Each structure stands twice: as C-alpha cells, then as structure tokens.
Amino acid sequence: MNKLLVIAAAVSVLGTTPLVGQASPEDDLKAFQGYFLKRFPNVPLDEYANGVYALDAASREQWEAIEEFPPYEIAIEEGEELFNTPFKNGKTYASCFRNGGIGVKGDYPYYDIDKGRVETLESAINECRTKNGEKPLKYKKGKIASISAYMAYTTRGQKIDIKIPFDQRARDAYEHGKHFFYARRGQLNMACAHCHVDHAGKRIRADILSPALGHPSHFPVYRSKWGGMGTLHRRFGGCNKQVRARPFKAQSPQYRDMEYFLTYMSNGIPWNGPGARK
C-alpha cells in the first residue's frame, strides 16, 4: 500500500475531526504530485492537463489528430450563444460573474463560507439562472455542458490555483472529498484511487487508465463513448457505475467535495478545457 493510500486509510477510520499530526492539504498536494512525478519522471507537470495522452505516445498521436477538428467546437459555439442570450429580464450570464464571466473557470470550485458548501462552476451557472427567474438546467450534459465548455475555453492557459480558506468547514469539505476519492465502494470494492493512482498508465482491456493528477483540468469533455459533451460529475457517476456502485446525483455534496479535492491536487497545471476523450 503506497503512502497516499495509508493517509486515506487513516482518514476513513478517523473521520474529518482535526487531529494532531493529520496531513495538511499542502502536505497532501506535495505527496500526490510527487508520487506521479516520480512514477513518470519524463512527464512534466503541465502535461497532466492532457490526461492519459501525456503518458502514451500512440494514444497521443490519435488524440492530436482528433484535435485538428475537435468535436467540442460545436459545444463552444453553442455555449457562447447561450451565454450571451438575454434572460427574460434582459440580463445575461455575464451579470453573475467576475469579469463578465470571461476567464473565470479558475475561480471554481471554491468553498463558499456564507453558504457553507463547495461551489462549482455548474452550480454557479444554475444559481445565476434562478436568480434571474429562469429554471435550472440539468447538470450532466446538454446546455449546461455547452455553457461550461465556453467558459472553460475562455480560461485556457491559466494555472489551477485552488485555495483552502482558513475555515474548519472548508477543511472538512476537503477532507470529505479526499475520503471519497480513496474509499472503496460498489460490488467490486474499489476506490477511485485504485485505477487513477495505483494503476494509472496501465491497461484495462483496450484502454489505458488515466492519472488522477490533472483530471479536472480538461472538463467538460466530449467523449466518443457518449457521442457528446459531459460535465465532470457525469464522469464521476459513470466511474461509480463501473465499479457497480450506485452513483450519487450530480452536484451532490460527495461529488462537489471530491471535485474540490481533485482540483486542489492539480494546482499548478493549466486549465485546457473543454477536452476530447474516448
């Protein structure tokens, strides 16, 4: 069992109550990134924005060919149109975000101290809608994925820089997300970390398992398997199903907190969404 799973095991036993000697988020970040950089010494940190294509040359060649005519371009165009289409009250999404919503994906996820929960880009998009008298969108795909794709596109190249505020509730949300990532579940009794930490870069049937480092950087994604766009929480749900566990709802506290943990673990990697994956 590697050092990261030892930390996770302690979390699962002891919960999220602050303890003397418990690893800090900064310690976790150093260990998490250090593990991958040591395991794949020829892969620079920035390359983890490209997921499995940072690890396998043959897969990367196929992906680069796809990127010449990226299948997510239509989603970006649709997202831009939706973003700029006025609500019934005359306002647009730009009224809800810093800098008019341009280049702000890097603000998410964050812990909202007033609300007492993690806020994601998709939850902020729907909050913007409801504040302006519109019905919320479904969280996994469709219009919300297109809007998120456009907002991600305007943020490309910025470095991920998630903060954990000095607030115990924020630390608890982070620890909850970490625990969820390392906890076993489903009939296969597997954790996210089994595939995306322990066996990253190895084959499972015809596919190569992607590294967890950098996972959130390229979402939302166009997946060939889906034949369309999907949000990060759609992918979380699919992974849970693959280990024969009942998935949580998109934007559940479990998925929000895990997004918070994983994005923090990817600090220093450039945002490069939307992406294209198998």
Phi, psi of 190 (to 5 degrees): -120, 150
State the CB neighbour count (10 A cutoff) for residue 8. 23
Q: Is 195 among the catalytic positions?
A: no
Three-state SS string over the chain comes to CCHHHHHHHHHHHHCCCCCCCCCCHHHHHHHHHHHHHHHCCCCCHHHHHHHHHHCCHHHHHHHHHHHCCCCCHHHHHHHHHHHHCCCCCCCCHHHHCHHHHCCCHHHCCEEECCCCEEECHHHHHHHHHHHCCCCCCCCCCCHHHHHHHHHHHCCCCCECCCCCCCCHHHHHHHHHHHHHHHCCECCCCECHHHHHHHCCCCEECCEECCCCCCHHHHCCEEECCCCEEECHHHHHHHHHHHCCCCCCCCCCHHHHHHHHHHHHHCCCCECCCCEEEC
CA distance 243 to 234: 15
Q: 96, 128, 195, 239: which is the annotated catalytic residue?
A: 239
Who contacts 19 (Cβ-Cβ below 8 Å, separation ≥6)? none
CA distance 78 to 75: 5
Give the dihedral sign, CA 78/260/211/252: negative
Residue positions annotated with a catalytic role: 239
